[in-house]
Amino acid sequence: MTESDKVFAGSIPEIYDSYLVPLIFEAFAADMARRVAATKPQSVLETAAGSGVVTRALAPLLSPDARYVVTDLNQPMLDRAAQQQGEDSRITWQQADALQLPFPDGHFDAVCCQFGVMFFPDRVAGYREALRVLKPGGVFVFNAWDRIEENVFADVVTKAAATVFPQDPPLFLARTPHGYHDTAMIQADARGAGFGEVSVETIAETSAAASCRDPAIAYCQGTPLRNEIEQRDASALDRVTDIAADAIRARFGEGPVSAKIQGHVAVAGV
């Protein structure tokens, strides 16, 4: 992972939330919200919350007197999440690094993290922090994308971008979001951090969009892939987006498009 892989700023948060969230995150967010709510937590910490898709799904399922602390490393993403959420006195928004959480030991009943652990520079350290802030009997629910070949739009866009920069292809999607797909490694890392029972379930969903251009915009302009493209050629963003849209059109045709997405859901108990 490079430093630019962690930068979600500028127009990325808005495009991410408008295009990428409905494309790939909403179904998994609903699943995570159900899993966390089923434990009936009175205090929840969310790390790497992004633009708040899990927050929007989970908050309505929590009790009226629950505490819900929502954090992200990137303040612009957190600002977008708070703006989209609306007023809720149970929620506290706080910028925080998941590897150095500013909370005392044994403070939460549940910790959740949707598709954020792939960005942790030290995953065992991040899991150890989640364990530290959990109460006895608490639960850590997190997920990670499966390999890029199982996530079709991301794969098509990555290959399309590589045709523009064949000598130095921008591989953010394959390297980071889809680079932590080994379920045995995920379990070993969580156990290495001190968790006991760790279950991992692989779930396939369908990624759907109104047009072939929507996934191209989502990935090329709403993720740090944009940073990689602009680092190579500051004027190339629209061209790469067009080429990615053409590649999706060539495979799926005009009009609404859909393709497979697949991720892993891990549940680790204290």
DSSP 160-192: HHHHHSTTS---HHHHTTTS---HHHHHHHHHH
Asked if pLDDT for residue 9 goes beyond 80, the answer is no
- Domain holding 219, by residue range, is 3-269
- How many structural domains compose the chain? 1
Residue 89 sits in a domain of what CATH number? 3.40.50.150
- pTM of the shown model: 0.94
pLDDT tens-place string over residues 210-231? 999 999 999 999 999 999 999 9
| pLDDT top residue among 166 and 1 | 166
Predicted pLDDT at 12: 82
pLDDT tens-place string over residues 234-268? 999 999 999 999 999 999 999 999 999 999 999 99
* Distance (Å) of CA 192 to CA 107, 126, 195, 198: 21, 11, 7, 11
What integer best gives the mean pLDDT of the chain? 95
